[in-house]
Amino acid sequence: MVWKGDGIVAVPGSASGVLLASDQPLSFWGGYDPTSGEIIDRRHPLSGRFGANAILALPATRGSSTTTAVLLESIRSGFAPSAFVTTSMDTFLALASVVGAELYRKPIPMVVVADGHLAELVACYRDSSDGSLIARLETNGAITVGRQ
């Protein structure tokens, strides 16, 4: 195991997937392609990475209020991240999860961690930027990161 921590359960659920982590917020509108899961904000450090079925760790969303619609579309198309780890109670991510659960029975679990935890996750991610780290989220808010 590479890293272990926990946070506040904002949207309950368990998930696992490749870890993608950044200390930069992301606008999903203009930043995430719901038909492929690619991160397309060319100013973002994760530009070109694929968020589909990944555990996506970011401080928050930013910018456009259409972020939620893009996420809902990615939930429908199967290209949504499998969970979010954030440092704030991000309403845009939470809403996509709440409506995704209503319409498609697919909520996206979300855990809110301390700033220091996100910084550590970003450091882990950078140290092995070949995308080989797998993160696992438990229903109690526990997060573990290990190698494939």
- Which residue number, 52 or 133, has a Cβ lying nearer to other proteins? 52
Under the criterion CB under 8 A, does residue 40 sit at the interface with other proteins? yes
Residue 127 DSSP SS3: helix
Of 21-29, 50-58, 120-128, 129-137, the window that binds other proteins (rule: CB under 8 A) is 21-29
Q: Which residues lie closer than 8 Å to 130 by C-beta, 6 or more apart?
A: none
Contact 94, 51 (CB under 8 A): no
- Which residue number, 96 or 135, has a Cβ lying nearer to other proteins? 96
Q: In angstroms, what is the minimal distance from the CB of 89 to other proteins? A: 5
Q: Which of 103, 6, 22 is nearest to 57 (CA)?
A: 22
Q: N- to C-terminal Cα distance for the chain?
A: 10
d(CA 39, CA 29): 10
Q: In angstroms, what is the minimal distance from the CB of 33 to other proteins? A: 9
Q: Which of residues 98-137 bind other proteins (CB under 8 A)?
A: 98-99, 102-104
d(CA 30, CA 16): 26
- State the catalytic residue, choosing from 16, 36, 47, 64: 64
| 64 among known catalytic residues | yes
Binding residues vs other proteins (CB under 8 A):
8-10, 12, 25, 27, 29-31, 34-35, 40-43, 60-70, 72-73, 75-77, 89-92, 94-96, 98-99, 102-104, 141
